[in-house]
Amino acid sequence: MMRREILTAAAVTAGTIAGGTLVAGSAAAAPGGGDAAPGRGTAPGLAKKDTLAFAAGSAIRIGTAVAGGGHHDSQDYPPPFTDDATYRELLGREFTSLSAENQMKWDFLRPDRETFRFDEADAIMDFAAEHGQVVRGHTLLWHNQNPEWLEQGGFSADELRALLKEHIETVVGRYAGRIHQWDVANEIFDDDARLREEQNIWIRELGIGIVADAFRWARAADPQAQLFFNDYNVDGINPKSDAYYALIQELLADGVPVDGFSTQGHLSTRYGFPGDLADNLQRFADLGLRTAVTELDVRMDLPDGAEPTPEQLEKQAEYYRRVTEAALSVEGCESLTLWGFVDTYSWVPVTFEGQGAATVMWEDYTRKPAYHAVRDALAAASGRAGHPALER
């Protein structure tokens, strides 16, 4: 069965695709040696199982960010989540967890002080419910992507405290019982492992105690969600992850409801692989925490628009495989999320000049070696290795 037919059938059955044309049905050959499109050459009964979600089984939640807001607003493609039918189709069937890439951040939700703009976040929640997926909420307390009216508002300490409390009660409360994990606090330490006492408006104006309050307010608003600290460059054991290790122990001793520690996992083939990733997650697990990898992508240097070389793709696949294996090896690591799954919508080329190709699929949705690396590592852990659906 051809891919186009599968997608069409699925779209009709699901009845949720927003009137777009299917763009990738006649995919051109993938640059740099991509694999066949999903479903192609697979017996009809097995095609639906030829996914990361099936490979993972119940071993771990395999997630992706849902593209929207942030850098997407300045790109020349239509909104992926509503207008790209292939994207939507794969979002629904490849993954068992979704994260809001930008749609639950302050600058997206709060265009002005009085208004909460929940339309896109609600749409993600509804999509997840329809597809049996869990959702990771991202994020409540951060130094980035805050609206101008907040950063420049000249608010007193009391006003800021009240604003954050209201925000958490409203946002976390709205989705109470429907969020698997919340990134309550994001990136509170800088690259020198120092608290962002200047950059982070909340910490600057209210002190570190506001972080504990944020966790308490989140717990009160949704007793079921697991509450996380999340950051980048904390994959391995290093001064920055040490800072979290120390802080979290203090908070736990004070009875602050911290449930989890997650590493984003924005990696580059330019750097060596953080080989102590599992050991790092394990030490947090040993504190009684859940752990997660929340924003995995593996970028590479592509100067002057170069295509990835086979060596780069192989190294990328190895990094994806090793992260997946590390996540699977740590008890209480319940979710592994990719920061997007197709290069078209990746934040990487927009953010890191001369770098790209960071996701597991080419722009035409064909699969890279990295896709197979993740899938095979998942299948090995779930007991589904060798299943006929996954044999290609």
Q: Are 64 and 337 in contact (CB under 8 A)?
A: yes
Burial of 341 (0-12, 13-18, 19+ CB in 10 A): buried
| Closest approach of ligand XIL to the CB of residue 97, in Å | 16
**Which residues, other chains included, contact 321 with Cβ-Cβ below 8 Å and sequence gap of 6+?**
370, 373, 374, 376, 377
Binding status of residue 101 toward ligand XIL by CB under 6 A: yes
Residue 66 CA from chain centroid, whole number: 8
Smallest distance, Å, CB 310 to ligand XIL? 27
- The catalytic residue positions are 187, 295
Whichever of 70 and 308 has its CB closer to ligand XIL, that residue is 70
The H or E element that residue 173 is part of is helix 157-174
Confirm or reject binding of residue 233 to ligand XIL (CB under 6 A): no
Segment near ligand XIL (CB under 6 A); pick from 66-74, 88-96, 245-253, 362-370: 66-74
Q: Which one among 34, 39, 63, 70 touches ligand XIL, defined by CB under 6 A? A: 70
Whole-number minimum distance, CB 232 to ligand XIL, in Å? 6
Of 51, 186, 233, 262, the residue at the interface with ligand XIL (CB under 6 A) is: 186
Closer to ligand XIL by CB, 72 or 110: give it.
72
Amino acid identity at 60: I
Query: Which residue, 274, 288, 209, 287, is CA-closest to 240?
Result: 274
Site membership for ligand XIL, residue 264 (CB under 6 A):
yes
Should residue 189 be labelled a site residue for ligand XIL when binding is judged by CB under 6 A?
no
Question: Contact at 8 Å (CB) between 72 and 105?
Answer: no
Q: Does 71 bind ligand XIL (CB under 6 A)?
A: yes
Contacts of 13 (CB under 8 A, 6+ apart): none
Closest CA to 317 of 361, 369, 268, 366: 369
User: Among 71, 67, 74, which Cα is nearest to 127's?
Assistant: 67
CB of 124 to ligand XIL, least distance (A): 14
CB of 75 to ligand XIL, least distance (A): 10
What is the C-alpha separation between 134 and 191, in angstroms, rounded?
31
Question: By CB under 6 A, which span of 64-72, 75-83, 154-162, 309-317 interacts with ligand XIL?
Answer: 64-72
Q: Which two tokens stand for residue 83?
A: 């207008």
* Stretch of 48-56, 69-77, 235-243, 367-375 contacting ligand XIL, by CB under 6 A: 69-77
* Spatial separation of the C-alpha atoms in residues 221 and 177, rounded to whole Å: 10
Q: Which is nearer to ligand XIL, 71 or 204 (CB)?
A: 71
Task: Provide the minimum distance between the beta carbon of 139 and ligand XIL in the complex, in angstroms, as a whole number.
Answer: 6
- Mark the segment that binds ligand XIL (CB under 6 A) among 65-73, 198-206, 213-221, 321-329: 65-73
Number of residues that bind ligand XIL (CB under 6 A): 10
Question: What is the C-alpha radius of gyration for the chain, rounded to an integer number of angstroms?
Answer: 20
Q: Give DSSP secondary structure letters for 10-45.
A: HHHHH----SPPPSSTTPPPPTTS--PPTTTTS-HH
Spell out, one character per residue from 287 to 316, where the chain touches ligand XIL: x when CB under 6 A holds, - when not: --------x---------------------
Q: Which one of residues 106, 284, 347, 371 is an interface residue with ligand XIL (CB under 6 A)?
A: 347
Binding residue for ligand XIL (CB under 6 A) from 42, 51, 86, 102? Answer: 102
Task: Select 94 or 297, whichever has its Cβ closest to ligand XIL.
Answer: 297
Asked if residue 91 lies in contact with residue 359, where contact means CB atoms within 8 angstroms, the answer is: no
Residue-wise burial string across 298-323, b where 16 or more C-beta atoms lie within 10 A, e elsewhere: bbbebeeeeebeeebbbbbbbbbbbb
Which residues bind to ligand XIL, rule: CB under 6 A?
70-72, 101-102, 186, 232, 264, 295, 347
